[in-house]
Amino acid sequence: MKLQISDTFNKVLPSDSNTTNARRQVFEATHSYVNPKTPTKPKIIHVSKEMANTIGLDESEINSKEFLSVFSGSKVYPKTKPYAMAYAGHQFGNWAGQLGDGRAINLFEVLENNKRWAVQLKGSGETPYSRQGDGLAVLRSSIREYLCSEAMFHLGVPTTRALSLMLSGDDVLRDMLYDGNADYEKGAIVARVAPTFIRFGNFELFAARKDLDNLKKLTDYTIKYFYPELGKPSKETYIKFFETVANRTLDMIIHWQRVGFVHGVMNTDNMSILGLTIDYGPYGWLEGFDFGWTPNTTDRQNKRYRFGNQPNIGLWNLLQLANALYALVEEAEPFETILNRYQKDFEEKSLDMMRSKIGLHLKDNNDLKLMTDLEDCLLLTETDMTIFFRELANFNIKNSENGISIIAKAFYQPNELKDIVIEQWNSWFKAYHRRLMKENLSDMDRKQKMNLVNPKYVLRNYMAQLAIDKADEGDYSLVDELFQLLKKPYSEQPKFEKWYAKRPEWARHKVGCSMLSCSS
C-alpha cells in the first residue's frame, strides 16, 4: 500500500514533550504523540472505494493486509507519527476547559492530486485527552458516523468523510441511556478523512491559557495550509480568516436546514475550522417538520441544539472563536461587524435556500411571508419534511386546485386532517400558485430544479437503526445497501423505493430512532 505521505500538522506545530500515554493537562503543544491501540481481532465491515481512491489507494491496496492493519490501528504506517490533537471547548454553553482527541488518533496526512487529506481513526484507544473515557467507540455509533458522513457528502453538505468501518474485536462497556444499565457492545473503528480536523476548540485552548505564541502559530498554520488565498499573517489577514470561517459555518448550517439535518451536539469542540460537519454523534434527521426537535436526549431539557436553533448556535460558537482570535487583533469592532453580518446573511441565505426548495428563482418582496406561512402549515399536523418537498415538485400550474392532494403522502395522519388545516393549506397553495405565475419556468423545469435541492433519500433515524440491528448479528448487507442508496440521494432509484417512506410507527419512540444520547 503506497501513500503520498505529507505530514505538516505534527511537523510544523509544537508537540507535547511528554510522550507517555497518561491523561494530563497538556501545555504549549498542539498535539501529543500516541499510537493507536492494537485491536484484538480487526475485521473490515465496509470501505468507501471512492474515498480510498481519493487518497490514492486502488482496489488491490484496499484488499491488502496492510490496509486492514493500518486503518484498524494495528500497525503504524512507515515514517509516520500518530498523534492526538489538543483542543478545548464550550459544551452546552459552558466552558469545559481542555478536552482534546480522547478517542481520535490522527495517523498522517497525504497529498494526492494536490489535495491534502488528514486521516484519523475514531475509537482506537486512549490518549492523554481521554479524561474519564476509554478511548473506544461502539459499532452502532460507528455505523451512524460512517453512513451519515458519506450521505452528507453526496447531499452536497460540507463534511468530513469516511474511509473505512472496522470491528475491533474488543467489547466496549456502555450505558447507552445513562440509566445505570451498562452493557457490553461491539467495539468499532472508523477511519475518517478531512483536509484537517482542526476545530474552534483548538484556538480556544490557547486563548484561554493566554498562550499567544501558540495561538498565533496555530492560526498561521491554518491560514497557510487551508486558507492560503488570505495572504501572509497580519491583523487584516486574521480578520479575513474569521470572516471566511463565519461564512463557511453559515453556509454549512444553511445546508443542514435545507436537508433537515440536526447535528445534536454543536459544542465548539465539534465545530470545524473549515466549516465541515464534524462529529456524527447524536444527530438525527427531521421526519415531521419541527423547529423544536432535537434527537439528543442529553439535551432534552433545554433543547439548545434543536433544529430551529442551529443557525443561532452557529453564531454563538463563532462568538467564542472571535473571543479566541481577538488576542491576535486586539480590536473588537471588526469581529462585531462580521458577527452582525452573519445575522443578516443568515436571513437572506435562508430565504434563498427556501426559495430554491419550493422552486422559485426570482425574488419577490412577499417571499418571506410565503415562507413563514408555509412553515406554519407544515407545523399544523405532523408532516414529513423530506416527502413534502419532494412531492411539492409535482405541483401543476394548470391544475392548481389539488395542491394538498399532491403532498398528502407527507402527512402522518392523512385521514384525520381537520377542515381548518385543509383551509390553511388551500390558501397557501393559492398564494404559491400566484407566486409561481411570476416565474418563467415550465412545470417540468421547475420540478427538475427542485429535485436537485430536495433529496428523495436521507438517512432516516430508523434506517440507520435497522442497519445497526442487522450488523449486530453479523449481517452487514444493510450497511452496504444504505451506503449505495445514499450515494444518489437526489435520483429516483426504483429498486430502493421502499426507503422513500415516512418513519414507521414502531420507530416513533424507539431508542436509536427518535432518542439518542451522547453515549457512543
Ligand X SMILES: Nc1ncnc2c1ncn2[C@@H]1O[C@H](COP(=O)(O)OP(=O)(O)OP(=O)(O)O)[C@@H](O)[C@H]1O
- Can you tell me which of 279, 287, 290, 384 binds Mg ion, judged by CB under 5 A? 279
CA–CA gap between residue 489 and residue 475 (Å, rounded): 24
- 30 in contact with ligand X (CB under 6 A): no
* Residue 91 DSSP label: E
269 is annotated as an active-site residue: yes
Query: Of the listed pieces 122-130, 149-157, 264-272, 291-299, which binds Mg ion according to CB under 5 A?
Result: 264-272
Which amino acid would we find at residue 226?
F
| Residues 110-138 as b or e (16 or more Cβ within 10 Å = b) | bbeeeebbbbbbbbbbbbbbbeeebbbbb
Q: With contact defined as beta carbons under 8 Å apart, do 143 and 479 qualify?
A: yes
Strand partners, 186: 171
Give min distance, CB of 185 to ligand X, in A: 12
d(CA 206, CA 213): 9
User: Which residue, 174 or 240, has its beta carbon nearer to ligand X?
Assistant: 174
Q: How far is CA 420 from CA 377, 380, 383, 423, 476, in A?
A: 11, 10, 16, 5, 47
The span from the CA of 91 to the CA of 224, in Å, is 29
Residue 350 binds: one of ligand X, Mg ion, none (C-beta under 5 to 8 A by kind): none
Q: How many chain residues touch ligand X (CB under 6 A)? A: 21
Please tell me the distance from the alpha carbon of residue 63 to that of residue 41, in angstroms, as a whole number. Answer: 17
Residue 135 in the binding site for ligand X (CB under 6 A): yes
Q: Which residues in 294-396 belong to E strands, given as ranges?
A: none
Residue (253 or 407) nearer to Mg ion, CB: 253
Q: How far is the CB of 245 from Mg ion (least distance, A)?
A: 18
Residue 133's binding partner among Mg ion, ligand X, none (Cβ under 5 to 8 angstroms by kind) is: ligand X
Instruction: Determine whether the annotation assigns residue 171 to a binding site.
Output: no
Judged by CB under 6 A, does residue 100 bind ligand X? yes
Q: Which of 16, 220, 269, 290 is catalytic?
A: 269
Q: Is residue 296 part of the contact set for Mg ion (CB under 5 A)? A: no
Contact map string, positions 259 to 288, toward ligand X, x by CB under 6 A: ------x---xx--------x-x-------
- Residue 122 is labelled as binding a ligand: yes
3-state secondary structure of 58: coil
CB of 386 or CB of 461, closer to ligand X = 461
Q: Does 270 bind Mg ion (CB under 5 A)?
A: yes
Site string for ligand X, 159-198 (x = CB under 6 A): ----------------------------------------
Of residues 133 and 292, the one with the C-beta less far from ligand X: 133
User: 37 vs 460, which CB is nearer to ligand X?
Assistant: 37
Cβ contacts of residue 515 below 8 Å, gap of 6+?
A: 177, 295, 297, 509
DSSP state of 19: -
Which of ligand X, Mg ion, none has residue 102 at its interface (CB below 5 to 8 Å by kind)? ligand X
**Residue 95: beta bridge partners?**
90
- Which of 171, 195, 175 is CA-nearest to residue 183? 175
- Which x/- pattern over 113-132 shows residues binding ligand X (rule: CB under 6 A)? ---------x------xxx-
Decide if residue 37 touches ligand X (CB under 6 A): no
H or E element, residue 88: strand 88-91
Distance of CA 366 to the CA centre of its chain: 33
Cβ of residue 101: shortest distance to Mg ion, in angstroms?
9
Residue 446 contacts residue 439 (beta carbons within 8 Å): yes
Query: Which positions touch Mg ion (CB under 5 A)?
Result: 270, 279
- The residue ranges that bind ligand X (CB under 6 A) are 99-104, 122, 129-131, 133-136, 265, 269-270, 279, 281, 518, 520
> Which residues are known to be catalytic?
269
Binding-site residues for ATP sit at 100, 102-103, 122, 134-135, 192, 199, 279
